[in-house]
Amino acid sequence: MFFHIILERNMQLHPRHFGARLRDKLVSKLMKDVEGTCSGRHGFVVAIMGIEHVGKGLIRDGTGFVTFPVKYKCVVFRPFKGEILEAVVTMVNKMGFFAEAGPVQVFVSNHLIPDDMEFQSADTPNYTTSDGSVKIQKDTEVRLKIIGTRVDATEISLCKKGNLKQALHLLSSESKPTQQTYELLILACALQKSFPDAFAVHRNIVDNGFDQDPFLATKLIDMYSELDCIDYARQVFDKIPRRTIYVWNAILRALTLAGYGVEALGLYREMNRIGMPCDRFTHTYAIKACVVSESMTTSLLEKGKEIHGRVLRHGYETHVHIMTTLLDMYAKFGNVSYASYIFDGMPDKNVVSWSAMIACYAKNERPLEALNLFHEMVYEIRGFSPNSVTMVNVLQACAALAALEQGRLIHCYILRRNLDSILPVTSALMTMYSRCGKLEVTQKIFDQMDKRDVVSWNTLISSYGIHGFGMKAVRVFEEMLSRGIKPSAISFVSVLGACSHAGLADMGKRLFDSMTEQHGISPSVEHYACLVDLLGRANRIKEAAKVIEDMKIKPGPKVWGSLLGSCKIHGNVELAERASTQLFQLEPANAGNYVLLADIYAEAGMWDEVKRVKQLLEAQGLQKVSGRSWIEVRRKIFSFMSVDELNPQIELIHALLAEFSEEMKQQGYTPRTELVLYDLEEKEKERILLGHSEKLAVGFGLINTSKGETIRITKNLRLCEDCHTMTKFISRYTSREIMVRDVNRIHHFRDGVCSCGDYW
């Protein structure tokens, strides 16, 4: 609040200023000395309004200076408890953030920041809501409610000036430091990220017997968390005998932020064992702890379900933030049905909950549901404006479905809401266009960007990659390097993938070696999988197997999967057996591996082996992942399963495909019936082949789109050889451009030729 008050001050003036302008001199000196100062009683002096009265001057012996008692009018600013202030953020860290409201320095502790905002240690550290709609970072304007004020003459002013050492020195001569003094010092240490000083303050706290103070323990834990010294945070926690809920929550938060989920859950269990009552923060951190560890084991999921039960027992089922955190946890475990169950049961949903559910569908391969929910959110419920994170998820869904028309609509929406300058949104747009076959639009968006980050470059590289333009991808990669942008691990995944699709084995091998030699990036399982794929596809399978043998890290299922995939392409039974033995152990529940091996045996005519693998598959109770294709017609997405009976036009589609098949046979084509893994009549096998989902989608596209329109299809598995041959034929026979994107890449069929050059 601002006040107009009269204050008094003794002012000293040198005799040389005496004269007619004495009063002016007093005013200007007063302004210099007083404006901006602060006292506990009156607050900040904002401006001197004038001099009320100047008393009689008194000559000071021996100096010649004269002291005048001056009464002056001024405006002071004094914040009061409960007052709302507008402030500008000056610094953000794990402990909270600092802001300035005019002359007032404000610190907002993380405990007071709304609980759906989380700390993110990016280049610009910030607190962001889980959907990204609100972000507090340096220079953000915030509105604050004052909960307390403090005027400190010594330490804080020193700390702020960066003179922490001097403050510490003062501390050593201070006879009775208070809790408040320590709190300020702890804050300053965290602020300056100074570990030695932090340690000195901590030691001083112990020496002065404050180490049993739970309030300071909470602050110390926060401080060590900010300094990334989680071990010390844990030590503070272990040594404090009286643990309040704040102490518990601080350590849970610190462990969760540092990715020590299992440890956090151990402490959460301990809290429950000793009967420590939990609050909403405790539950929130515990739920998050289930998904921060690198390995997402089923036991962590069980733990999450247990916390879910406890949250319900404590009556939090209507608490939007906790329920959304739970939803997000199930989403991260890929448990879509639980997530949607929670979402449907939430009485109040906010924009965060909607976004979390859309993200859940988008990230768990349910793009159609993600798009539908987005439409419901925007067009039916209204009132909610999706933010950039949601837009990224929705664009990913469009990309997954090759839904170009929907994607364009969303692009317009993004432009209207000025979200197009946000880098992740732009990258998602680029990806959407390239996955829908519009590579030229991807390049155009990239060219028009004011600033680009490594993700933008990676996106462009992988876009050229999936279109089979390997050399172009490598050139973009080289341009990125020449512009001084440091490649990330993902950059190499993108460029190696691009080499692989284009058969550039030597180039890929060189790039792989450059990772460690020139860029100091040690290859991960992902990179090895790319290399194995690259060599394997190029029919250098022995070399690929050698790479696996020499690997310094454990080859995971991805690496063996790449080898098995290559064996399928080149019909290498011996290595396929070796790869699948490993895969059956690593991923016993992945039906795809069994099917691949059976395919390889089938192509080699080893029918007994086919039967054996199929029995193995059935004995495990596994279901083969069924082929699915999607096509967008007039902004609607249609989904096709093999031998689909649901589509009303199915008879028409079958008839059309049969006609093509007859025409093709006359031109010398034989259906690849060996691809059908059943012991059936040849005719029946042909029927099954014609029922493949992508053929149905092509047929549907031909019937329902106008001449000259490109047909765009996506498929959840690899395109089979028979569909590939037939689609080439159809593209020539009907003079249509057909784009099919399978799990690996994009196939552009035109005039009987595919852009992949039959190499995929």
Token code pair at residue 609: 């082996």
Q: How far is the CB of 291 from Zn ion (least distance, A)?
A: 37
Angle at CA 379, nearest 5°, toward 378 and 385? Answer: 25
679 in Cβ contact with 610 (< 8 Å): no
Distance CA 66, CA 29 (A): 14
Distance CA 343, CA 363 (A): 16
- Spatial CB neighbours of 670, under 8 Å, sequence gap ≥ 6: none
Binding mask 637-676 for Zn ion (x = CB under 5 A): ----------------------------------------
Q: Is 532 in the site for Zn ion (CB under 5 A)?
A: no
Token code pair at residue 716: 């959840």
Q: How far is the CB of 631 from Zn ion (least distance, A)?
A: 15
Strand segments (E) across 447-599: none
Q: Which residue, 573 or 643, has its beta carbon nearer to Zn ion?
A: 643
From 353-361, 387-395, 534-542, 723-731, span contacting Zn ion (CB under 5 A): 723-731
* Amino acid identity at 487: P
Q: Which residue, 540 or 672, has its beta carbon nearer to Zn ion?
A: 672
Q: How far is the CB of 500 from Zn ion (least distance, A)?
A: 15
Angle at CA 25, nearest 5°, toward 22 and 27? Answer: 115
Q: Considering only residues 60 through 99, tell me which ones interact with Zn ion, judged by CB under 5 A.
A: none
Cα 421 to Cα 124, 352, 364, 432, 577: the distances in Å are 17, 22, 27, 16, 50
Q: How far is the CB of 439 from Zn ion (least distance, A)?
A: 15
From 181-189, 415-423, 530-538, 744-752, span contacting Zn ion (CB under 5 A): 744-752
Q: Are strands 738-741 and 711-715 parallel, antiparallel or unpaired?
A: parallel
Q: Which residue, 202 or 728, has its beta carbon nearer to Zn ion?
A: 728
Distance CA 159, CA 47 (A): 26
From 428-436, 526-534, 595-603, 741-749, span contacting Zn ion (CB under 5 A): 741-749
Q: Which residue, 234 or 728, has its beta carbon nearer to Zn ion?
A: 728
Q: Is 321 in the site for Zn ion (CB under 5 A)?
A: no
714 in Cβ contact with 688 (< 8 Å): no
Q: Which of 435, 692, 718, 736 binds Zn ion (CB under 5 A)?
A: 692
Find the helix or strand (DSSP H, E) in which 71 lies: strand 66-77
Q: Which residue, 250 or 720, has its beta carbon nearer to Zn ion?
A: 720
Count residues binding Zn ion (CB under 5 A). Answer: 6
Q: How far is the CB of 696 from Zn ion (least distance, A)?
A: 10
Token code pair at residue 281: 């923060």
Q: Which residue, 362 or 738, has its beta carbon nearer to Zn ion?
A: 738
From 130-138, 469-477, 592-600, 718-726, span contacting Zn ion (CB under 5 A): 718-726
Q: Is 723 in the site for Zn ion (CB under 5 A)?
A: yes
Q: Are strands 711-715 and 628-633 parallel, antiparallel or unpaired?
A: antiparallel
Q: Which residue, 369 or 742, has its beta carbon nearer to Zn ion?
A: 742
Strand segments (E) across 96-210: 96-101, 104-109, 117-120, 126-129, 135-136, 141-145
Strand partners, 127: 119, 136
Q: How far is the CB of 627 from Zn ion (least distance, A)?
A: 7
From 34-42, 356-364, 629-637, 714-722, span contacting Zn ion (CB under 5 A): 714-722
Q: How far is the CB of 755 from Zn ion (least distance, A)?
A: 6
Angle at CA 298, nearest 5°, toward 294 and 304? Answer: 85
285 in Cβ contact with 253 (< 8 Å): yes
Q: Which residue, 126 or 693, has its beta carbon nearer to Zn ion?
A: 693
Q: How far is the CB of 467 from Zn ion (least distance, A)?
A: 11
Strand partners, 117: 129
Q: How far is the CB of 473 from Zn ion (least distance, A)?
A: 17
Q: Is 754 in the site for Zn ion (CB under 5 A)?
A: yes
Q: How far is the CB of 752 from Zn ion (least distance, A)?
A: 12
Give 302-367 as a DSSP string. HHHHHHHHHHHHTT-TT-HHHHHHHHHHHHHTT-HHHHHHHHHH-SS--HHHHHHHHHHHHHTT-H
* Amino acid identity at 656: L
Q: How far is the CB of 695 from Zn ion (least distance, A)?
A: 6
Q: How far is the CB of 658 from Zn ion (least distance, A)?
A: 15
The burial of 422, by beta-carbon neighbours within 10 Å (0-12 exposed, 13-18 middle, 19 or more buried), is given as middle
Q: Is 756 in the site for Zn ion (CB under 5 A)?
A: yes
Q: Which of 720, 730, 738, 739 binds Zn ion (CB under 5 A)?
A: 720
From 195-203, 330-338, 702-710, 713-721, span contacting Zn ion (CB under 5 A): 713-721
407 in Cβ contact with 399 (< 8 Å): yes
- Spatial CB neighbours of 27, under 8 Å, sequence gap ≥ 6: 48, 50, 51
Q: Is 595 in the site for Zn ion (CB under 5 A)?
A: no
Q: Which residue, 202 or 741, has its beta carbon nearer to Zn ion?
A: 741
From 65-73, 335-343, 665-673, 748-756, span contacting Zn ion (CB under 5 A): 748-756
Distance CA 515, CA 520 (A): 6
- Spatial CB neighbours of 709, under 8 Å, sequence gap ≥ 6: none
From 14-22, 120-128, 430-438, 716-724, span contacting Zn ion (CB under 5 A): 716-724
From 446-454, 583-591, 602-610, 722-730, span contacting Zn ion (CB under 5 A): 722-730
The number of beta carbons lying within 10 Å of the beta carbon of residue 103 is 15
Q: Is 697 in the site for Zn ion (CB under 5 A)?
A: no
* Amino acid identity at 526: E
Q: How far is the CB of 692 from Zn ion (least distance, A)?
A: 3
Q: Which residue, 164 or 756, has its beta carbon nearer to Zn ion?
A: 756
Token code pair at residue 669: 């084509």
* Amino acid identity at 497: G
Give 1-56 as a DSSP string. -EEEEEEEEEEEE-GGG-STTHHHHHHHHHHHHHTT-EETTTEEEEEEEEEEEE--
Q: How far is the CB of 565 from Zn ion (least distance, A)?
A: 16
| Region of residue 134 (left: phi > 0; alpha: psi -120 to 50; beta: else) | beta
From 299-307, 316-324, 399-407, 750-758, span contacting Zn ion (CB under 5 A): 750-758
Q: Is 747 in the site for Zn ion (CB under 5 A)?
A: yes
Binding mask 173-212 for Zn ion (x = CB under 5 A): ----------------------------------------
Q: Which residue, 207 or 684, has its beta carbon nearer to Zn ion?
A: 684
Q: Which residue, 508 or 691, has its beta carbon nearer to Zn ion?
A: 691
Q: How far is the CB of 97 from Zn ion (least distance, A)?
A: 53
Interface residue list for Zn ion (CB under 5 A)? 692, 720, 723, 747, 754, 756
